[in-house]
Amino acid sequence: MKVNEIVKVEVTSIKPYGAFIKSGNYTGLIHVSMINGNYIKNINDYFYVGQELYAKVTEVDDKSKHISLSLKELGLHLNEKENKLYETKKGFATLEKMLPDWIEETLEELENK
């Protein structure tokens, strides 16, 4: 893990001051001030546990395997409205249900050609 590296992280918990994450063997924090540069009234409007996203590493402590991260420095200006889209559980339900049938239909069509 190196400073300025862009890494994929998963949100593991949320506190008023930031989102705790994990990335491989490292754990860390995206501090509330590193989300988008604006005042954050409720951090839960921006993150949810289990959310995966990319962030820029700003500090690394290899001994403790702890990192600090920033979305703001990455240029990702996460906002409340964008995150609401992530929170919808319904969005891919139809795809998940229908995809096996569509694959089977396509394979049958290919076999008949």
Tell me the domains of the chain and their CATH numbers. 6-88 (2.40.50.140)
> What is the overall mean pLDDT for the chain?
82
**Pairwise CA distance, residues 94 & 6, whole Å:** 32
Beta strands in 39-88 (DSSP E): 52-61, 66-70
Q: Which of 5, 31, 33 is nearest to 20 (CA)?
A: 31
> 102 or 78: whose pLDDT is higher?
102
Average pLDDT value for residue range 52-77: 87
* Predicted structure pTM score: 0.65
